[in-house]
C-alpha cells in the first residue's frame, strides 16, 4: 500500500488542503493520504484550536473521502 502523509496545523483545515491531498494521491498513485495535525504549530506561539479540536475538524472534513485518514501521533505525543 502506498501512503502519503500530509502534516500541518489544519487550523482550520480548508479546501486547499483537500485539493493538495487529492493532487498528491493522483500524481503519485497513492492508495491513501493520512492527515497528521501537529500538536503545537511550529510557526505560532499558540494555536487557535486545541490539537483535539483540529483533529476533529480534519476527521469531519475528510469523512466523505474514502482514501483519506487521520493520524493522531503528533497530538498524542504532545
The pLDDT score that the predictor gives to residue 42 is 64
What lies within 8 Å, CB to CB, of 6 at 6+ separation is 17, 20, 21, 24, 33, 34, 35, 36
**How many residues belong to the chain?**
78
Query: Sorting pLDDT into bands at 50, 70 and 90, what band is 69?
Result: very high
% of the chain at pLDDT higher than 70: 92
The pLDDT score that the predictor gives to residue 46 is 66
The pLDDT score that the predictor gives to residue 67 is 98
**Exposed e or buried b for every residue in 33-67, given b needs 16+ CB within 10 A?**
bbbbbbbebeeeeebeeebeebbebbbebbeeeee
- State mean pLDDT over 10-20: 97
pLDDT tens by residue, 33-58:
999 999 876 667 765 899 999 999 99
Amino acid at each position: 500500500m502506498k501512503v502519503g502523509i500530509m502534516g500541518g496545523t489544519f487550523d482550520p483545515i480548508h479546501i486547499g488542503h483537500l485539493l493538495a491531498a487529492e493532487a498528491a494521491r493522483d500524481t503519485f498513485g497513492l492508495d491513501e493520504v493520512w492527515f497528521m495535525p501537529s500538536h503545537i504549530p511550529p510557526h505560532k506561539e499558540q494555536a487557535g484550536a486545541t490539537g483535539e479540536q483540529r483533529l476533529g475538524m480534519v476527521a469531519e472534513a475528510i469523512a466523505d473521502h474514502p482514501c483519506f485518514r487521520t493520524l493522531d501521533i503528533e497530538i498524542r505525543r504532545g
